[in-house]
């Protein structure tokens, strides 16, 4: 697992799941430069990540981005002010490993990797818009 949650996530999730079938959360990616940690929200700044298990969900697609609610066609969604922090792109080595794994997994299942940002984030010298990690956490 390469994702963590903001410090206040447990209490925010309890509140959001009281009446929601699915909760969309905000996503930040850690990006390290030397000894310094930053975050970027340049890709996937909102993701459906929390699925209330009181409802009937199923995985119906080869490229799994999340389950489908089997009881209704279009569930109501709420974007919660909850941040998930992804560490998988934090170093050049982790970015490269992610690309290799996703190319392999999706190459076998559907013929190609459906995500287009892999080439960009693995380019030598590429740097997204960054915010200091500690300042980001204090803002939450």
Give the three-class secondary structure for 91. Answer: coil
Give the per-residue pLDDT at 74.
72
Return left, alpha or beta for 66; rule: phi > 0 is left, psi -120 to 50 is alpha, else beta. Answer: left
The 8-class DSSP code of residue 70 comes to S
pLDDT tens track for 36-85: 999 999 887 888 888 888 889 998 887 767 888 898 777 777 788 999 99
Of 83, 24, 29, 74, residue with least CA distance to 50: 24
State how far the Cα of 38 lies from the Cα of 93, in Å rounded to an integer: 16
State how far the Cα of 4 lies from the Cα of 28, in Å rounded to an integer: 10
The model's pTM is: 0.85
Mean pLDDT, range 98-118, rounded to an integer: 81
Rounding to the nearest 10 degrees, give the CA dihedral for residues 65, 61, 102, 32. 0
Question: Does position 98 have pLDDT exceeding 80, yes or no?
Answer: yes
Give the per-residue pLDDT at 114.
75
Q: Say if residues 64 and 109 touch (Cβ distance below 8 Å).
A: no
State how far the Cα of 43 lies from the Cα of 117, in Å rounded to an integer: 8
pLDDT tens track for 15-27: 888 888 888 899 9
């Amino acid at each position: 697992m390469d994702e963590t949650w903001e410090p206040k996530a447990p209490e925010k999730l309890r509140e959001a799941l009281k009446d929601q079938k699915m909760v969309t959360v905000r996503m930040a990616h850690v990006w390290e430069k030397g000894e310094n940690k930053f975050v970027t929200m340049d890709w996937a700044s909102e993701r459906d990540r929390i699925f209330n298990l009181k409802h009937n969900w199923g995985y119906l697609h080869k490229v799994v981005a999340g389950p489908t609610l089997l009881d209704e066609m279009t569930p109501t969604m709420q974007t919660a002010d909850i941040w998930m922090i992804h560490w998988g792109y934090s170093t050049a080595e982790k970015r490269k490993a992610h690309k290799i794994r996703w190319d392999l997994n999706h190459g076998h299942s559907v013929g190609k990797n459906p995500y287009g940002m892999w080439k960009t984030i693995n380019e030598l010298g590429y740097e997204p818009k960054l915010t200091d990690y500690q300042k980001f956490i204090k803002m939450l």
